[in-house]
Amino acid sequence: MNTTISAGTVVVDGQVHRPGWLQIADGMIHDVGPDSPPRPVDTALPDAIVVPGFVDMHCHGGGGASYPDATASTTEQAADFHRSHGTTTTLASLVSASPADLLDATGVLGAATRAGHIAGIHLEGPWLSAARCGAHDARQLRNPDPVEIDTLLAAADGTIRMVTLAPELPGALDAVDRFVQAGVVVAVGHTDAEYAQTRAAIDAGATVATHLFNAMRPLHHRDPGPIAALLEDPGVCVELIADGVHLHPAVIRTVIAAAGPARVALVTDAMAAAGCGDGRYRLGECDVTVTDGIARVTGDDTIAGSTATMDAVFRAVVDHTAGHGRGATTGPAGDDAALLAAVQMTATTPARALGLPGVGVLGAGARANLVVLDRDLRVSRVMVDGAWR
């Protein structure tokens, strides 16, 4: 499809154009610019804000479907649900499970990756700390095993894009090296590691912090642990779950100020309940109860993922970073710096952290993945590879 789109606001190439336009051809962005386009407009959106499609690098499911229990149809169901909320690129995150179950899920999600429904697999576990396992089934946790790792890599055939592990486990640093050699992004998470152990993992090639602060040894002024090591390293991208539950807004602002939007990736950590309301659900082997939109392990206070969507995360971070509140005359949508930061953290930074070329930006040569937002930053239309969805 060849089309020219104009909009009241377009965020392209790290700039906010009011107004702006994009020319799309064969699923790619051919040209962009400010003001009026040099050719007839096919789709005019004078009151809309056009931003890059969101990139969620940590998502366990949504719309009633769970990636850890994936089938071909439920994988599409979860991806389609999040796409309707502006997520055009998703990593399907698994949880700790038996070797056989991980292999089965990897096979299903590998096929979904090759079919283009998702961008790859995120193995969150099973090589995690028992002391910081969160909603993971503690019975399925184990130390990294070279044979299991090679078996998973072979079965996935290049579709595992990220793995989360705890660097203090025996064999963890060798696992980091093996995954890096295989082209897999390594994240540190669900960890009780000391500062030096975390630094060793970074030196070995780890480049992402899985949901910083959550399920890891807390920061202490005499025991900085993993948080300080991950936050201070300029080569590490830090995930934040900005759902209003996992982190206080002041913590989010502090991390953004310390690391900058170029190092912060906002994620949902969503599970099947996203978009489905309160009730009983499953996350891997764990029973989960959702009350008032908050997912917790049944009978426990442990948070079990979230019910967030990336558009809600986008709105929240614009509010957190805008120079004025939503009650102001123009609202946060009129704050260029807040819009640029939100786009960076929901699209550009996660795409770069995952090594996805042409994704997370709107510019000539990029894939035509975009989200049309109204003045309240709610999704009105979504385009994937040049086609409206």
Q: Detail the residues annotated as belonging to a binding site for substrate.
A: 135, 214-215, 222, 246, 303-305
- Type of residue found at 284: G
Cβ atoms < 10 Å from Cβ of 27: 14
Task: Indicate the helix (H) or strand (E) that contains 336.
Answer: helix 336-343
Task: Indicate the helix (H) or strand (E) that contains 154.
Answer: helix 146-156
Cite the DSSP H helix spans in the chain. Answer: 72-84, 99-114, 146-156, 172-181, 195-204, 225-232, 249-259, 310-321, 336-343, 349-353
Task: Please name which of 18, 51, 2, 90 lies closest in space to residue 372, comparing C-alpha atoms.
Answer: 51
Known catalytic residue: 269? yes
Tokens of 350: 């996660």
Q: 101, 269, 319, 335: which one is catalytic?
A: 269
Contact call for residues 356 and 89 (beta carbons, < 8 A): yes
Cβ atoms < 10 Å from Cβ of 201: 27
In three-state secondary structure terms, 99 is: helix
- Which residues are CB-neighbours of 132 under 8 A, at least 6 positions away? 166, 190, 191, 192, 215, 216, 217
Between 310-321 and 249-259, two packed helices, what is the crossing angle to 10 degrees? Answer: 80
DSSP 246: S
- Residues annotated within a binding site: 124, 135, 190, 211, 214-215, 222, 246, 303-305
- Type of residue found at 140: Q
Classify residue 299 by burial, with Cβ atoms within 10 Å: 0-12, 13-18, 19+.
exposed
Name the phi and psi angles at 138, rounded to 5.
-60, -25
Task: Provide the pairing of β-strand 286-291 with 160-165.
Answer: unpaired
Q: 153-168 burial string, b = 16+ CB within 10 Å, else e?
A: beebeebbbbbbbbbb
- Which residues are CB-neighbours of 259 under 8 A, at least 6 positions away? 231, 238
Task: Please name which of 366, 368, 370, 348 lies closest in space to residue 14, comparing C-alpha atoms.
Answer: 348
- Which residues are CB-neighbours of 152 under 8 A, at least 6 positions away? 102, 103, 106, 123, 160
Supply the residues annotated as catalytic: 269
